[in-house]
Chains A and B, each alone.
Chain A
Amino acid sequence: MHIALDPRTKLYMILVVSMVVLMTATTPFLWGVRIFMTMVPIILLFIEKKYASAIRFLIFYGLALVLTFFFLSEESSGILTAILIGYCGIVVQFMPAMITAWYCVRTTKIDEFMSAMQKMHVPDGIAISLAVVMRFFPTIKEEYGAIRDAMKMRGISFGDGNALKMVEYRMIPLLFSCVNIGDELSAAAITRGLGGNVKRTSIIELKLHLWDILLMMLFTMVLAVFVYCKYFG
């Protein structure tokens, strides 16, 4: 089965999930809604055949949930538990937003994204910059991995224990490669007519399919139920 979602649906999903993430769940029912909401992007990841990341997210999120519910409480103290609480806090609280964002970044092609932005009349400046940001996180990770390998090879991973040096040794090469990649990227983009005066056309015709509408309705419902139960229920 293949479901190609419209980028606008994905953006809407991000919006809803971010809003729900802001409101903490207080009752078991709200927790249920939240977990259900988190499952949707994970299932979508499975459908897109991104098994590795889907399973990783599932394990991380599940583990944090179990720990939070069964082992941690207001009274827990001690350094190890403090770190554990921190870990579970960040995962349980922000993981849904991160999974959704990850799903959208991983499955949206840049041209789809740009054409969706054009359709929503987002100013070019914001759209282009946002597209670059989206594309760039994996690049930074890749470049950073290469830098770390190089540092390991020369045995200077810890910069002699000097915090300033540790930052400098990593940051400077990273910036060098990012600036270069940026130059290449702009050359490539300008060749494809980005920043011209005419309206750009897109090879991809975006249309809202049945799945998009269903998902949008689903997420609207999730948001409505959550707000209603938290503030009026």
Chain B
Amino acid sequence: MNSSKLKAKDFITVGIFTAILIVVEFLCGMLGYIHPYIVASYVVMIPLVGAIPMMLFYTKVEKFGMITIMSVLIAIIMFVLGMGYLGAPLIVAAGVIADLIAKSGKYKSFKKTILSYGVFCLWICANYFPVIVTADSYRTDLLDGGYSAEYCDDLFRAINEKTIAVLLILCFVFGCIGAVIGKKVVKKHFEKAGIV
């Protein structure tokens, strides 16, 4: 791997893992419609579950740009699925920073990988942006959209400009924990099988 340019194979790898990550996100997202507190708990669930594919992805990353492209793809798909464009800058920023951190460890250092994944997980918070930035209109939107007032109250109790800091930190922390667990799983299954 002397060339630092991305090849078709790398793009395909990015595509596959993005698809898996979106599926994970989507399945967790479905649960959120049961109760708003589950919406807030995305920051715990998605980093933990998503860590397994992501750690496998990190073993395949060797060049700058792959994590960045992934974040761009996620931003596009989030937009298409109706999550809005407000979070897009945060998603891409998290991706670029995560990429830089991983690059500084030459994509091999485990500590840097943990940090990088923690930062990458901040993209999940982008999903909360519409709730915070446009709180009032979002509330009326939800009510008009058929949600109950109870759901809205709970949602805004769980997610507002005060709790977003906590949510961001939680995201990062559980990203790091998830990375450790994910690495163990990858070691247990994939390195033994010789796939990595």
Interface: A75 (CB within 8 A):
yes
- Which residue of B35, B65, B145 contacts A89 across the interface (Cβ within 8 Å)? B145
Interface: B23 (CB within 8 A):
yes
Number of interface residues of B (CB under 8 A): 53
Structural contact, B12 and A132, CB atoms closer than 8 A: yes
Q: Chain A: which residue is nearest B29 at the CB level?
A: A90
| Chain B proximity mask over A64-107: 1 for CB below 8 Å, otherwise 0 | 00001000111111000111011111101110011001000000
B123, chain A: closest CB distance, angstroms:
16
- Which residue of A85, A101, A176, A186 contacts B12 across the interface (Cβ within 8 Å)? A186
A13, chain B: closest CB distance, angstroms:
11
- Which residue of A18, A72, A129, A189 contacts B79 across the interface (Cβ within 8 Å)? A18
Q: Can you sample 27 A-B contacts with CB below 8 Å? A: A22-B84, A26-B144, A68-B145, A72-B146, A74-B148, A77-B150, A82-B34, A85-B146, A85-B151, A93-B82, A101-B81, A129-B11, A129-B18, A129-B70, A131-B15, A133-B15, A136-B15, A136-B16, A136-B19, A137-B23, A168-B52, A171-B49, A174-B20, A176-B190, A176-B193, A179-B16, A195-B9
Structural contact, B15 and A132, CB atoms closer than 8 A: yes
Looking at chain B's contact residues, the main secondary structure is helix
Number of interface residues of A (CB under 8 A): 59
Looking at chain A's contact residues, the main secondary structure is helix
Interface 9-mer from A51-59, A120-128, A201-209: A120-128
Interface: B133 (CB within 8 A):
no
Given contacts A126-B73, A186-B8, A190-B9, contact A132 B52 (CB under 8 A): no
Structural contact, B53 and A171, CB atoms closer than 8 A: yes
- Residue with the greatest number of chain A CB neighbours at <10 A, chosen from B49, B147, B149, B193: B147
Interface: A140 (CB within 8 A):
yes
Roughly how many angstroms separate A185 CA and B15 CA in the complex, as a whole number? 11
Structural contact, A125 and B6, CB atoms closer than 8 A: yes
B-contacting residues, A1-46, CB 8 Å: 14, 18, 21-26
| Chain A proximity mask over B47-80: 1 for CB below 8 Å, otherwise 0 | 0010011001000000001000110110011011
Roughly how many angstroms separate A73 CA and B145 CA in the complex, as a whole number? 10
Point out the residues of chain B lying under 8 angstroms from A198, CB to CB.
none
Interface: A63 (CB within 8 A):
no
Structural contact, B16 and A182, CB atoms closer than 8 A: yes
Given contacts A129-B12, A133-B22, contact A85 B148 (CB under 8 A): yes
Structural contact, B144 and A97, CB atoms closer than 8 A: no
Point out the residues of chain A lying under 8 angstroms from B141, CB to CB.
23-24
Structural contact, B146 and A88, CB atoms closer than 8 A: yes
| Chain A proximity mask over B129-162: 1 for CB below 8 Å, otherwise 0 | 0000000000011111111111100000000000
Roughly how many angstroms separate A97 CA and B79 CA in the complex, as a whole number? 10
Given contacts A18-B82, A172-B189, contact A77 B8 (CB under 8 A): no
Point out the residues of chain A lying under 8 angstroms from B8, CB to CB.
128, 186, 189-190, 194-195
Roughly how many angstroms separate A131 CA and B65 CA in the complex, as a whole number? 18
